[in-house]
Amino acid sequence: MSTVWYRGRLGDVCRVVPGYAFKSSDWRTAGIPVVKIKNITGNNSVDLATTDCVPESLLTQRLQKFVIKDGDILVAMTGATAGKVGRVRTNRILLLNQRVAKIVAVDADPDFIWAVVSSQEYQEKFFYLADGAAQPNMSGSQIEGVDVPLPPRPAQQRIAGILSAYDELIENNQQRIRILESMASALYREWFVHFRFPGHEHHPRVASTLGEIPHGWKVNTAKNILARRPAGSVYREADVKPEGAIPVIDQSTSELLGFHDNAPDHSASSALPIAIFGDHTCKMQLLIEPFSVGPNVVPFVASQDMPTAYVFYAVNSLVHTQEYKRHWIPLSAKEVVVADRMTAKRFSSLIRPMLVTQETHRKAIRNLRRTRDLLLPRLLSGQIEARPPEP
């Protein structure tokens, strides 16, 4: 086995398989889950909590190459998340939709390929492959053409083993964030969907356009409880850097665009959080530290002296992106049940410690990713030749 390290095309050692174009009539609420562009979260994972499905009868020999298995590497090929990658972790049978591709290691260690393509450097390389002003898009052949380091298999396994320790710590922190988010969402549903809030026994139900609601609560449109804030300085990819004092939040499902060292445009805190809405992607996030925003990000707070944390959960998930268009106006037109101010503030105070703990885990993830990305080129340096050796 060769001991020479060299560089080559990703396609020299991997196959890139774009997903299948299912028909609109194929979609079901149950059946075989299909991974779509919306499931590539941008935090190096694939969100399988909500998936569209197709009938099991479609899983014929013709579609076998679009089956996804545990450990597969996926890359978003178009839209706001173009270039973002994720690794599937599941025991279920899944299928791959168009606009997403899987990277299949053929003559390389799959964990090593994951270590390379999941780095910030390579996700940026994938992103810049995408062309098209209205809808950035890349092809499978473009992805296969990306230049990658190709050390011998033992070195690949050693590098993957070192970096997997960081991946495990990152996943542990992400899991803790998901648990806290689930706890806050469950509390919101218990109080404001099932109406089992403290003292609910003393609030008889009254009729409304959204069904029976507690006496003293109202039905309102979202625009009447949201106060949109000016975006301030809108930062783009070229304006940010990997490290800095102030995070820049973008509209993709990834956590952020980058950092800068200027004054923040939005001074969020745990006492006065600020929410953001991705106008094209419908991403929502509640922030408790100073930040700035990227393009098409709408910062907002609550109006009418309501707590922003409560209003965030009230409007979260009211709209979902179906196509590349603006969604703030459709969100604003949605009707919501609005609780009395005292109950809303009580809910907000209960979830505040959860928000602080989540932010601690997010900072830990950023530090781990930064260290991982700095470590990868060091592991690969010093032994790379410009071309593969002659046979």
Beta bridge partners of 218: 338
Q: How much of the chain exceeds pLDDT 70, in percent?
A: 94
Residue among 83, 77, 87 at smallest CA distance from 257: 83
Element (H, E) at 297: strand 297-302
Q: Give all strands (DSSP E) within 21-65, no chain letters.
A: 32-35, 44-45, 52-54
Q: Residue 379: its pLDDT value, please?
A: 87
**Could you report the per-residue pLDDT of 210-261, keeping only the tens digit for each?**
999 999 999 999 999 999 999 999 998 889 988 899 999 988 766 788 899 9
Q: In whole angstroms, what is the distance from residue 9 CA to residue 143 CA?
A: 9
Q: What is the dihedral of CA 309, 311, 312, 316, to 10 degrees?
A: 150
Beta carbons within 8 Å of 88's beta carbon, 6+ residues apart: 35, 46, 48, 68, 69, 70, 71, 72, 74, 94
Sign of CA dihedral 265, 136, 87, 90: positive
Element (H, E) at 221: strand 218-221
Q: Is the pLDDT of residue 3 over 60?
A: no
Q: Residue 385: its pLDDT value, please?
A: 45
172-359 has the same fold as 5-150: yes
The domain locations on the chain are: 5-150, 172-359
Superfamily of domain 5-150: DNA methylase specificity domains (3.90.220.20)
What the block records as the tokens of 317 is 């998930």
Beta carbons within 8 Å of 157's beta carbon, 6+ residues apart: 109, 111, 112
The per-residue b/e assignment along 336-375, b for 16 or more CB within 10 angstroms, e otherwise, is bbbbbeebbbbbbeebbebbeebbebbebbbebbeebbeb
Q: How much of the chain exceeds pLDDT 90, in percent?
A: 70
Q: Contact at 8 Å (CB) between 311 and 226? A: yes
Report, as an integer, the average pLDDT of 28-43: 89
Q: How confident is the model at residue 286 (pLDDT cuts 50, 70, 90)?
A: very high
**Could you report the per-residue pLDDT of 236-245, keeping only the tens digit for each?**
888 998 889 9
Q: Contact at 8 Å (CB) between 351 and 309? A: yes
The pTM (predicted TM-score) of the whole model is: 0.81
Q: Contact at 8 Å (CB) between 40 and 82? A: no
Compute the mean pLDDT over every residue in the chain, rounded to the nearest whole number: 90
Report, as an integer, the average pLDDT of 173-191: 95
Beta carbons within 8 Å of 37's beta carbon, 6+ residues apart: 76, 77, 78, 79, 81, 97, 99, 100
Report, as an integer, the average pLDDT of 312-328: 85
Burial class (CB in 10 A: 0-12, 13-18, 19+), 21: exposed
Q: Is the pLDDT of residue 27 over 90?
A: yes
Report, as an integer, the average pLDDT of 81-109: 93
Report, as an integer, the average pLDDT of 252-275: 90
Scanning the chain, the segments in alpha helix (DSSP H) are: 10-13, 110-117, 120-127, 140-144, 153-192, 308-315, 328-333, 341-380
Q: Is the pLDDT of residue 384 over 50?
A: no
The per-residue b/e assignment along 73-107, b for 16 or more CB within 10 angstroms, e otherwise, is bbbbbbbbbbbbbbbbeeeeebbbbbbbbbbebee
172-359 fold: Adenine-n6-DNA-methyltransferase TaqI; Chain A, domain 2 (3.90.220)
- At residue 25's C-alpha, the angle toward residues 23 and 31, to 5°, is 95
More confident: 81 or 388: 81
Beta carbons within 8 Å of 354's beta carbon, 6+ residues apart: 180, 183, 184
95 Cα distance to chain centroid: 20
Task: Determine which of 180-189, 287-296, 365-374 has the lowest per-residue pLDDT on average.
Answer: 365-374
**Could you report the per-residue pLDDT of 327-346, keeping only the tens digit for each?**
999 999 999 999 999 999 99
Element (H, E) at 102: strand 100-105
